[in-house]
Amino acid sequence: MKKLTNLRLILEYFEVPNRDLARAINVSPSMVSNWVQGKRALRASSGSVVAIADYVLSRRTMETRDITWLKKQFEHTGISTDFDFASDIKRNLIIWLADDGQEVLEIFNKTGNIQVANEPRKDVGLSPFLYSIGPAGRIYNDDYSARAGVLDISLRLGRIFETMKEDTRIDICLTSETAATVMEDVFIAEIMKAFQTKNMYLRMLVALSGNSTALSRIIAAYTPMIVAGKMELYISHGMMQPMIHQTSIFIPNICAVAITELPESFSPPAALFITESIFLRDSTDGFDRVVRFAQPLMRLYPGNSLKGIIDIFNREFSNDGDMDIQSESLNTLMLEPAQFIKILEQKGFKGNALEWRSEEYLQIKNGFESNLKEGVVFREIISAEFLKNMVVSGSCELPSVYFMDTGKTLIQTKACAAILAGYIRMLKSYPNYHLSVAPHLSETQKGTRHIKHGRHVTLGPWKNESKLIFSDQMIMIHEFQTYFNDLWMSLSAGTRENTISLLEIMLQEIEKLIEQEG
């Protein structure tokens, strides 16, 4: 009965009516109804259960949430959730659906043809390339392997990413911005997992054919890596419309992957996985050579490039023009100059080092308030979670780049109170300064973003290291401006008075901590 319940579960999950399944596998609707109700048994050896599995896996694009759901069902039955191929999922699905699936599972377990959940898995190593047999060519043994279908390609890539060292940089080359595989949910999930677990760095080169919407989708999908400073994006302009889309992925000393797609075709993508060492060496050199002719969409300023970063801040806050800020930290321009100088002194700056930093801050702050007096519109989004943690602990960490330094700076209680007071003063003094406190910022919304309308966007990851990402390319500006506008609209329910009231309550809590400190 349990296996028949599984059929009902999967039909409900994938929203497949009984009649549709019956039509697809060429049986009567009453037969499907009997299976679902437990009146007839499904056997693993029957063609029907195989047809059901084929239909379920092929009727829609499998997304990460679908695979996660299937894994949970398999775990309850003791079936492996460690997939290398889409065929692994199909095999396990057949066993899970079949009335005699547990018996089949026991047989497979005894013969070693299937892995039981939680059983240690032996990693399958990549065979080293064989030596040359002369100038005419080479002999290869498992140096080349092919996968067809987004799911198979993504699962294979996930395995390869697991073998990478920390901080590995990989390169992806797209012959068109409309290449589909890199935008599939399961593919992006493997990239993001490697980014989170391996701190992977990505360079992507896109040959443009004029579809700016498609490039916008790529930017949106890979925003977490862009904002974290873990991705460089390059474009080159081409006139020809390709017959095929080619995506190339280069993982140093491990593997190169060539993914081929047919545009506007129902045919699945196919991929060639190459592990031959000379190919790997030359492909990396080739990417470096080609990328020199590409146009970068962004420039990276490390934390020690203080002059460049200060110049950008001056352009943002002192030059005319509306500006938007989204940050998971706080705006240090809310500090009065005396409080800012005190923090610099606490950091150990003195003499000339203290003097020029103080002057730069005063110039930027004066430019900021001068713009506000002239009616320039500033919109800012900050994190309620960050504010709450600050009030509870009585301190917070801010990027040291705001203090013309590297790393992070711990802000003590009195300075925290001064920043809150600064926000309140701005809201009360300037009707063209607007502030929204976001209840929660997701991973894709974190970091710091400054958007100077129609001019440039700067991104500050700040989480792991001080750096600033700058772009004056319209495609980048448009994408981040649109994202900010959508987020701003979703937060527009609160009034200015409500925001001021919230900040005043938090300021009172901080002041209580100051009194306790004596």
Exposed/middle/buried for 301, CB within 10 Å: 0-12, 13-18, 19+?
Answer: buried
DSSP 267: S
| Residues 224 and 154 reside in one and the same domain | yes
CA 173/CA 168 separation, integer angstroms: 17
Q: If you average pLDDT over each of 60-69, 220-229, 231-240, which comes out highest?
A: 220-229
Domain that holds residue 339: 301-517
pLDDT score recorded for residue 328: 86
DSSP letters, 310-331, are HHHHHHHHTSSS-EEEEESS--
pLDDT tens digit string along 191-201?
A: 999 999 999 99
User: Does any domain span residue 154?
Assistant: yes
Q: Is 210 helix (H, G, I), strand (E, B) or coil?
A: coil
Amino acid at 278: I
**What burial letters (b/e) apply to 339-359, b meaning 16+ CB within 10 Å?**
bbbbbbeebebeeeeeeebbe
- Give CA 9 to chain center in angstroms: 31
The mean pLDDT of 88-106, rounded to a whole number, is: 82
| Residues 354 and 445 reside in one and the same domain | yes
| Residues 73 and 53 reside in one and the same domain | yes
**What burial letters (b/e) apply to 52-62, b meaning 16+ CB within 10 Å?**
bbebbbeeeeb
Q: Is 294 helix (H, G, I), strand (E, B) or coil?
A: coil
CA 236/CA 243 separation, integer angstroms: 18
Query: Residue 203: which residues within 8 A CB-CB, separation 6 or more?
Result: 169, 170, 171, 172, 231, 232, 234, 287, 291
Radius of gyration of the chain (CA): 28
CA 398/CA 389 separation, integer angstroms: 13
* Nearest in space to 330 (alpha carbons), one of 230, 231, 403: 403
The maximal CA–CA distance of the chain, rounded, in angstroms, is 89
pLDDT of 119 strictly over 50: no
* Nearest in space to 452 (alpha carbons), one of 362, 384, 336, 371: 371
- Give CA 84 to chain center in angstroms: 23
Are 142 and 127 within 8 A, CB to CB? yes
Are 451 and 480 within 8 A, CB to CB? yes
User: Does any domain span residue 117?
Assistant: no
| Residues 319 and 283 reside in one and the same domain | no
User: Does any domain span residue 132?
Assistant: no
DSSP letters, 8-38, are HHHHHHTT--HHHHHHHHT--HHHHHHHHHT
Domain endpoint, select from 297, 332, 350 = 297
| Residues 246 and 168 reside in one and the same domain | yes
Band (117; pLDDT cuts 50, 70, 90) = very low
pLDDT tens digit string along 378-406?
A: 999 999 999 999 999 999 999 888 898 88
CA 291/CA 236 separation, integer angstroms: 9
17 versus 54: the higher-pLDDT residue is 17
The mean pLDDT of 460-474, rounded to a whole number, is: 82
Domain endpoint, select from 60, 94, 111 = 111
pLDDT of 439 strictly over 90: no
- Beta-strand ranges (E) seen in 33-166 are 144-148
- CA 76, 80, 86 angle in degrees (round to 5)? 115
pLDDT tens digit string along 309-344?
A: 999 999 999 999 999 999 988 999 999 999 999 999
Residue that is written with structure tokens 């109804």 in the block = 33
CATH number for the domain that contains residue 285: 3.30.870.10
Query: Residue 353: which residues within 8 A CB-CB, separation 6 or more?
Result: none
Into how many domains does the chain fold? 3
Domain endpoint, select from 297, 329, 349 = 297
DSSP 181: G
Q: Which bin fits 146, alpha (ψ -120 to 50), beta or left (φ > 0)? A: beta
**Alpha helix positions (H), 230-301:** 277-291
175 versus 108: the higher-pLDDT residue is 175
The mean pLDDT of 203-210, rounded to a whole number, is: 87
User: Does any domain span residue 482?
Assistant: yes
DSSP letters, 370-407, are HHHHTT--EEEEEEHHHHHHHHHHT-EEEEGGGGTSSS
User: Does any domain span residue 134?
Assistant: no
User: Does any domain span residue 38?
Assistant: yes
| Residues 368 and 483 reside in one and the same domain | yes
pLDDT tens digit string along 125-158?
A: 333 332 333 333 344 445 667 787 889 899 999 9
| Residues 477 and 340 reside in one and the same domain | yes
CA 145/CA 257 separation, integer angstroms: 9
Q: Hey, how many other C-beta atoms are within 10 angstroms of the C-beta on 518?
A: 4
Structural tokens at position 17:
């009516």
Q: Is 332 helix (H, G, I), strand (E, B) or coil?
A: helix
Q: Hey, how many other C-beta atoms are within 10 angstroms of the C-beta on 248?
A: 19
| Residues 266 and 288 reside in one and the same domain | yes
User: Does any domain span residue 61?
Assistant: yes
| Residues 226 and 248 reside in one and the same domain | yes
DSSP 204: E
Residue that is written with structure tokens 């977490």 in the block = 224
User: Does any domain span residue 380?
Assistant: yes
| Residues 457 and 340 reside in one and the same domain | yes
Model-wide pTM > 0.85: no
| Residues 77 and 150 reside in one and the same domain | no
**What burial letters (b/e) apply to 479-503, b meaning 16+ CB within 10 Å?**
bbbebbeebbeeeeeeeeeebeebb
| Residues 188 and 92 reside in one and the same domain | no
Q: Is 76 helix (H, G, I), strand (E, B) or coil?
A: helix
Are 201 and 285 within 8 A, CB to CB? no
